[in-house]
A = this chain, B = another copy of it.
Amino acid sequence: MNITMIEAAAARLAGQARITPLLNAPLLDAAYGKQVFVKAECLQVTGSFKFRGAWSAVSALPAGTRGVLAYSSGNHGQGVALAAARHGLDCVVVMPSDAPQVKIANTQAYGAKVVLYDRATEDRDALGAALCAQHGLVLIKPFDDRQVIAGQGSVGLEIAAQARAAGIDAADVLVCCGGGGLSAGIALALEAQAPGLRLRTVEPVGFDDMARSLAAGQRLRNLATTGSVCDAILTPSPGELTFPVLQRLAGPGITVTDDQALQAMVLAFAHLRLVLEPGGAVALAAALFAETKDPVICVASGGNADPALFRDALARFG
């Protein structure tokens, strides 16, 4: 991946993805003693940045491609489903049978065929490979794919331009991190277009595989795969493609607690009037509760929040 691929992806995204706003709340700045800018990717089509990478990958497929397949319990699946539908391609999304009903319904509403599997007894990869072979589908990986990373990098191009317009030439850029596709794409874009902006990954405590990997200089795995409310970013380990990029370009990783993520959701509700999901709120949590440069830019990466969880967060921190 390089800046040329990112710019090409951004050109393909024009008119499909939104240029999301970079928001700021004076009262939040005053309360936390630093300037905090929020890149509102929760306002992206399908409610998360994932549509960018999905569109980038799908739009780069060779002519004659029949259809695509994605594994996802949430945001990546919805992004791929809508991108495929707008390209007139078949789309199958393999989802765990215990995925939230609303995410299954939304993925179907975007036009995808949802195939459910049992996490305990079935092998997702084998099931997906069989479906790809049988129906002539191309697998769109969630982060370890060059075109996906290039598409997510378009967020970084926008941050570079928006920071420049706001007069910011040095800042930390905090990014919610699962496998590192969004982080790697943004880091590459900033390297080329805003070298004073330093990317730092943010993860939940106990699922800080990227932070530990960056510190160790090698890819390490999380000990657990479940147990945080930040479901969207609980990836087992950094990606093969994403890790070397972040090793070269990212500052030290930051971790936040689940409660800090939930509190950040409530602060976004009150001060930014944005709906964030927990995994999309960890970067804002780090901006407010961790030591960072001032000013700090954080990416609010997704807003597909469960209503019951959102209610509980408001009850506890509202």
Contacts and interface: CB of A to CB of B under 8 A. Distances in A.
B315 A273 contact: no
Interface in A276-318: 276, 303-305, 307-308, 310-311, 314-315, 318
B307 A266 contact: yes
A303 B27 contact: no
A95 to B, nearest CB: 17
A182 interface: no
Given A273-B275, A274-B273, A274-B274, A43 B23 contact: yes
A318 B314 contact: no
Nearest to A78: B27
Contacts of A109: 27, 30
A257 interface: no
Contact of A26 (B82, B275, B311, B318): B82
A270 B315 CA distance: 19
A269 interface: yes
Contact of A311 (B275, B276, B318): B318
B307 A269 contact: yes
Contacts of A20: 21
A42 interface: yes
Interface of A: 18, 20-21, 23, 26-27, 30, 40, 42-43, 45, 47, 82, 102, 106, 109-110, 266, 269-270, 272-276, 303-305, 307-308, 310-311, 314-315, 318
6 contacts: A23-B43, A26-B110, A27-B109, A274-B274, A311-B311, A311-B315
